[in-house]
Structure 1
Amino acid sequence: MRRICLALPTNRPCTPAISATHREALYAAQHFGVEVHLLILDSSDAFAYRQHAAAVRELPAAPGVTTHHLDEAAQREFLYEVIDRSGADKPGLMLDLMLPSALSYGACTNRAFLFAAALGCASVHRRDSDSTYQAAAPGGEPVFPVHHELRTLGSTAGEAAAAVSALDLDARHTGKPVSMVGSSFIGEMSVDIEEMYRLDPETYYEVVGLWAPFDWPAARKREFAGDSFRGAGQEPFTADHSTLTLVDPMRVDMCNIAFHGVHESVPLPPATDTIGSDYFLIHLVHDATLPAVLHNRNIVNHYTPERRTDPGFMAYHLRFAKFFLSMHYLNFVYERMERAGESLLDDRHRVRGGAIVDLLWESSRLDPAQNVRRLDVLDRAYRRLGGRYAEFADRLAAGRERLIDEARRDVEDFALLTEAWPALIDAAGTTSPGRSRQRPA
């Protein structure tokens, strides 16, 4: 029986998300005959963890669904064994990159990839704890993305063509596997910067435009900024639609994604306190010309109250600033990946991790001058907005040199992890997922 991993990483109270994701697991098992491992990787504080554990105990047992709820101690125990078995040259560093003390969007998903390998899962389906499912109609059943994911993921594009609404794929790709199925979100922006737009739209466009490559003309940056972080807008789900294509990375989000194969070849950047550190594979699937399916079962995004507090604001905008600094290196890699195209694949249509490693090391040698200019733009923009934005600018100015150095070290760490990744995946495949709270059928 095909096994899949439905992953829910969290560092916040989210008992409703646990119950809702379990319902999606039941749907997958009942409608597609798969064995679902619902994996809750919990980095919450002790109080929230106990709430989650109680919620897991209350989940109904059902054929085909096993729930794993692991705190960081259990995750660390598993990682120790995997890293040791892999023979990694720098085991201490590998552990830090896989389970850092600071928040890391990429690292939490990388842990899900290794646990999926340990559980023998053919694919990983990721959800977020600050989002909910749409309903088909008022009072209707939830609209689960796994419906489209399991119809096509892992099959060849030629086989998947019969299971989608539309086909926008060159015939030369039909023998390649569908390596990603995804959609986006409706509701609040994926990045909490709506207030910035309300305060000063021109400053908003200037700041968000820092995501784009530096050499783009101003008009193109502005258009890019206007399309960024807004997902699928506000239009609710009415009927299914799916397209088999080379999916534009701007059309999908990591709260609503599933991967087959590609996550076993290349990990995500393990950078800490950096939003967007989990976007990399979305770009890789597109640039390596791997077929994917874009569907419209968008998830509803919402914000947690903590972001609205002054400490939450400062922490969040630090992650936002570090995202722009990371793009100095990642935009270089994305451009080179797109230029390389399907030469990034081997003769079995699997990504050649070594090619990505080479690009990462090359990018790490870039002159950091662009990041000095990015910080200059952020300083002026945040001071222009005033209030706590100006206060954040003071903090940013005090840490300029450290942040520039961290951005370079982050890409170096990503290169080291990518080098070690095949051995880590192989080692995970022979390692027990360890102690966890399980609710088998």
Structure 2
Amino acid sequence: MNQAPTAPRICLALPTNRACSAALTALHAEAAYAVREFGADVRLLVLDSSDEATRAAHARVVAELPAAPGVTVHHLDEDAQRDFLRRALTGARLPDPERLLDLMLPSAVSYGACTNRAFLLAAALGCDSMHRRDSDSTYQLHAGQPVFPVHHELPWLGRPAAEATAAGVRTGLDPARADRPVSLVGASFIGALSVDIAEIRDLDEAVYHDVVGLWASADWSEERKRDLVEESFTGAGTDPFTGDLATLTVVDPMRVDMCNVAFDHAVYERVPLPPATDTIGSDYFLLHLVHDAGLPGIQHNRHIENFHTPERRTDTGFPAYQRRFVKFLLSMRYFHHVYDRMAAEGDRLLDADRHVRPGTVTALLRESTALDRAENVWRLDRVDTAYRKLGGRYAAFAEQLATDRDRLLDEAEQDIEDYARLTEAWPALVRAARTTPLAPMDG
């Protein structure tokens, strides 16, 4: 691939709430690679929500990173993030800023909210794109060298797809979309399932198929549900990287993972991610939006290696993680409706400048909140039956779930309402963020 004619400023972002010193060092090496190979100006952004001792260890790692011209590291704890958000919200002059602050920086775990903060900070740093990595993953090695995804992310992101085609990039893109910008570049992962539920499959494969199939829409055929189960959470399998393969296309959301993705600023500065708490998969919405709007992307094979940290299987971590999984299943009642409607809208999701229309997305989200909850009641019934079959701590979780049903149903609907509210406020918040400096305590 040829490199872009002008040096972009990029945000290479790592949100974390766990110890990840090795990931920080590896991310810095990827940032240096982006400067060395593409002349990029890299803002390495670490959003640190871990405990005080872990943050201190991370700060020591950051302080000891070797000097790398063109790489600027920003290590922000939650106090620094909150300070920035308050000032941006003040500049945006939006109603009920405290509620919006809660959606941007909730007290509970939110994969979407942490990435939204990265989006806003990327805007504040004047970045052309945001490149997301995770702390529970690592880069593959090939011939002794790390396989950095930024190799494919930087050359074409934000440029007309036709330029990539003219330079010889393999393409499966409809020529009618060649004038549209490359809006997403991504790959997947190899290794452990992206969702830590392999134990269910080991205990009872039939129960695993039943439970995983619950994230399908209730009206799907059994064959379609089976296909979904077979490919769910498996990423790119287990085969290691042997050589580069990249294709210009409208990227299938099932072929990209959020630990290995980059977005052009024209996408994330218009629509945020769902800020839902205690819900896995809440950070995947933009993959669907880019796909359904027919925006070009590059799908490559520099997959990241995924692993699971042990806290998800502790006595406290297990029920918390299972609750996130159940909330993900319930969220799909609403998201399937929105995805179907976005697919039907197609090109109408874009304005005359080929940018996504936030108002259209907001309207579809609000429309979905009127859906009947009966399908989600059915999902909870199926989960209850399945987990009781598994016995042990799964049966104990089913008991807990039985007392929490109404609250879960309410939360699933409220999450969508909150997302619509944030999406409506997002353009003004991004405009304010662009002129909001990072806090003085920024490292």
Q: TM-score range by the shorter chain?
A: over 0.9
Aligned residues: 436
Q: Deviations over 1:288-310 (max 9, x none)?
A: 00000000000000011111212
CA distance in 1, matches of 2:169, 2:125: 32
- What pairs with 1:1-80 in structure 2 (closer than 5 Å)? 1-80=7-86
CA distance in 1, matches of 2:326, 2:205: 18
**Aligned pair partner of 2:104 in 98, 102, 109:** 98
What TM-score do the two structures reach when normalised by structure 1? 0.98
Aligned to 1:6, the other structure's residue is in SS state strand
CA distance in 2, matches of 1:434, 1:294: 36
Aligned counterpart, 1:372 = 377
Following superposition, the deviation at residue 99 of structure 1 comes to 0.1
Following superposition, the deviation at residue 141 of structure 1 comes to 1.0
Q: Aligned AA for 1:395?
A: Q
CA distance in 1, matches of 2:310, 2:282: 22
Q: Aligned AA for 1:256?
A: N
CA distance in 1, matches of 2:72, 2:120: 17
| 2:303 equivalent to 1:298 | yes
CA distance in 2, matches of 1:420, 1:48: 34
- What pairs with 1:188-203 in structure 2 (closer than 5 Å)? 188-203=192-207
CA distance in 1, matches of 2:254, 2:166: 25
CA distance in 2, matches of 1:298, 1:246: 18
**Aligned pair partner of 1:288 in 283, 286, 293:** 293
CA distance in 1, matches of 2:99, 2:152: 38
Q: Is the 8 A contact 1:11 1:43 kept in 2?
A: yes
Aligned to 1:238, the other structure's residue is in SS state coil
Aligned counterpart, 1:393 = 398
| 2:92 equivalent to 1:86 | yes
Ranges in structure 1 where 5+ consecutive residues have no aligned partner: none
Q: Deviations over 1:211-264 (max 9, x none)?
A: 111100122111101100000000100000000001110000000000001111
Q: Is the 8 A contact 1:186 1:235 kept in 2?
A: yes
Aligned counterpart, 2:437 = 432
Q: Aligned AA for 1:103?
A: V
Q: Is the 8 A contact 2:80 2:442 kept in 1?
A: no
- What pairs with 1:338-417 in structure 2 (closer than 5 Å)? 338-417=343-422
Q: Is the 8 A contact 1:38 1:68 kept in 2?
A: yes
Q: Is the 8 A contact 1:360 1:411 kept in 2?
A: yes
Following superposition, the deviation at residue 436 of structure 1 comes to 4.0
Q: Is the 8 A contact 1:180 1:293 kept in 2?
A: yes
Q: Aligned AA for 1:106?
A: G
**Aligned pair partner of 1:232 in 225, 231, 236:** 236
Supply the RMSD in Å over aligned alpha carbons.
0.9
Aligned counterpart, 2:155 = 151
Aligned to 1:259, the other structure's residue is in SS state strand
Q: Is the 8 A contact 1:179 1:285 kept in 2?
A: yes
CA distance in 2, matches of 1:329, 1:388: 29
Following superposition, the deviation at residue 165 of structure 1 comes to 4.5
Aligned to 1:237, the other structure's residue is in SS state coil
Ranges in structure 2 where 5+ consecutive residues have no aligned partner: 1-6
Q: Is the 8 A contact 1:185 1:253 kept in 2?
A: yes
Aligned to 2:36, the other structure's residue is in SS state helix
| 2:275 equivalent to 1:250 | no
